[in-house]
Chains A and B, each alone.
Chain A
Amino acid sequence: MNIDKRLVRKDSLEKLFDILKQNSKTIYAPFSKNSKVSFREADSFSGITTDYIQTTQSSKEVAFPRNEKILNYSKDKEGMKVKGIDLNDIPEVVLWGVRPCDTMGIGELSAIFNWDYKDEIYNNRLSRVTVFGFSCSKSDDYCFCTSVGGNPGNTQGSDILFTQLGENGDYLAEILTDKGSSIVSISSALFEKTENIEKEKFLAEVPARFEREEIRGKLEKFFDSQLWVEQSLKCIGCGACAYVCPTCACFDIQDEAHGKSGSRVRCWDSCGFSTFTLHTSGHNPREVQSQRWRQRIMHKFLIMPDRLSVYGCTGCGRCSRACPVDMNILEHLISIQEVSL
């Protein structure tokens, strides 16, 4: 298939932003706060940061918010009323400035939310998101997208992928989907026709570090390995890795009552927490941190590929960057690959 490639001048981005706003799109873009870059709703173009290798948090919140009211209930004289979330209230969103490892994560997250049972809340949110991917021109020690099927200019998951042609340069825009085309149609003057531009030389270089198929094979025989104990000894059991991850989908369901009415909320949870699998009886199938760490790696590199036909890791390296005790997933994966059975 021939990808529709256009040139977008650097100065045109702000105009594009304004056109989207005029078309009542809600725009989520990267902003810096306390020296950390995160996505939030953008009111104006100024302030959107471009200086980041990767945002601290992934963009998954746009389809899988940390707290999602899944229903509201109220009790009155006539009885109990329960009302689900109104899917029509979900806004049309443009997700601006997403790195290719995050856009790829959308597919992996969707696999979880559509395994047999289709999660219509998630699907509806996602269907109203237009993804503006931005290729990577820089990488760091934590990046490993090329080891897990991605690359710094990967188009997968983007509706339009922007690649900046050199520092301070203009952008190559690859229009990848109908959603992308419809953006071009409302701002066509900004998307100039162009000769074929090669984006490769403008992309970061991320060397491949391991073979994920090989890791998957090892994990098949690895359940009782001492390695989990060794790797997780410094793990302090917080949920930072899971919450910044673009593909972690574990959640809790909590009721919140306010007098006679209230709501049921689906909220993020993490397999790293000691209470995650705790039975009311006090029995806990994953009693120690090594079992919980094993679950994290197994889920992403064995269980998901086996059950959902996708891996659960995009190599964004966020979990390692966010980890308060420097548990480096790349290092741990390499050491799994290197173990001889």
Chain B
Amino acid sequence: MDDLRKRAKELLETSAVKVVIGYEQGTANKTRALFVEKAEDADCLIFDSRCVQNLATYVTKREVKDKGKMAITATLPVMRSIIQLASEFQVNDNNLLVLGITPESKLVEFKNLSEVETFVHQYQIEIDAKNKEMLDKIAKMTQAERWKFWIDELSPCFKCYACRAACPMCYCHRCTVDFNQPQWIPVPSHELGNLEWHIMRAIHLTGRCIDCDACYNACPLAIPINLLTKRMLEDVKINFGSYQPSIKADHLMSTYKPDDKENFIQ
């Protein structure tokens, strides 16, 4: 990935950006996020098939954002996240430059987010065969079986909220679970508390989740919580047509218009 290092170096040398978000070698065979602020450190950047962490989660992190204009090493899922974030006014051309990495592992730089959007739209979001099979299997279960399946899977959850923290779309300054007036979701990690949390999360992500699996990859207990968001993705497809993140489009579950006849949101 010499191209990437070279470009990162240039961007930092010319002060076009203040920080380049990318990957470095991590522990054992892992890779991890790297924030390059000095041109000479750009040589630590790497890219290969192990780089699956969705780095878009950092573009809304206060400490990173505060550094100034960011450039981000972005695979297809990261680019999708960024477009969704742009549509929610979390990033824009002034604070983010995308160093795209195509599915063929080629570096491609975009002038603006609108170009990123065009690029992203060439690819449909497709749930992989293995997960699709699992979704079908769950769909065919009786209600009782399905209940048992989810209780078994979700009971071990201890609510570390790694799923939330790793998700680029979970950027709320204060999450619903952190509010206690009223306490919508029980705090303890018991059956009910866990179920409510994960179902609520999946619903909040409906029409926004770009299916990157960051939540599942982050879960220290490897609970297949991504099946919930994948199910929602399928339901969205069936009911509203295929989902693509889009800077200008209305949001499926959270469209707000200033002249909305309901006033609760104002």
Contact = CB atoms under 8 A, between A and B. Distances in A.
Q: Are A and B in contact, CB atoms below 8 Å, in the complex?
A: yes
Interface of A: 33-36, 38, 56-57, 66-67, 140-142, 229, 232-234, 236-240, 242-244, 252, 254, 256, 265, 267-268, 270, 273, 275, 288-290, 320, 322, 324-326, 328, 331
Nearest to A253: B187
Nearest to B189: A66
A326 B27 contact: yes
Given A38-B156, A239-B162, A320-B27, 15 more contacts: A34-B223, A36-B221, A56-B220, A56-B221, A66-B189, A142-B27, A234-B32, A238-B160, A238-B161, A239-B159, A244-B220, A273-B161, A290-B63, A324-B166, A328-B26
A38 B181 CA distance: 35
Given A238-B165, A254-B187, A328-B27, A34 B221 contact: yes
User: What are the 6 A-B residue pairs with the smallest beta carbon separation, nearest first?
Assistant: A324-B218, A326-B32, A322-B220, A236-B165, A238-B165, A238-B162
Contact of B221 (A38, A265, A289): A38
B204 interface: no
B222 interface: yes
A67 B194 CA distance: 12
Contact of A238 (B190, B218, B223): B218
B63 A229 contact: yes
A238 B164 contact: yes
Nearest to A234: B33
B162 A265 contact: no
Contact of B166 (A38, A236, A254, A273): A236
A141 B27 contact: yes
22 contacts: A36-B220, A38-B156, A66-B189, A67-B188, A142-B28, A233-B64, A234-B34, A234-B58, A236-B162, A236-B165, A238-B161, A238-B162, A238-B164, A238-B166, A242-B160, A256-B188, A265-B188, A289-B61, A320-B27, A326-B31, A328-B26, A331-B27
Interface in B140-160: 156, 158-160
A237 B63 contact: no
Tell me whether chain B's interface is mostly helix, strand or loop, or mixed: loop
Contacts of A326: 26-27, 30-32
Interface string B183-196: 00011111000000
Contacts of A239: 159-162
A29 to B, nearest CB: 15
Nearest to B174: A275
A301 B77 CA distance: 39
B190 A67 contact: yes
A141 B28 contact: yes
Contact of B224 (A34, A236, A289): A34
B147 to A, nearest CB: 18
Contact of B35 (A35, A38, A66, A234): A234
B158 A66 contact: yes
A63 B168 CA distance: 36
Contacts of A238: 160-162, 164-166, 218
B220 A275 contact: no
A233 B164 contact: no
B8 to A, nearest CB: 16
Task: Give the residue among A140, A244, A289, A325 with the most B Cβ atoms within 10 A.
Answer: A325
A324 B189 contact: no
Contact of B158 (A35, A236, A237, A243): A243
B75 interface: no
A124 B103 CA distance: 57
A141 B224 CA distance: 26
Contact of A67 (B160, B161, B189, B218): B189
Contacts of A244: 220
Interface string B170-212: 0000100010000000111110000000000000000000000
A234 B224 CA distance: 24
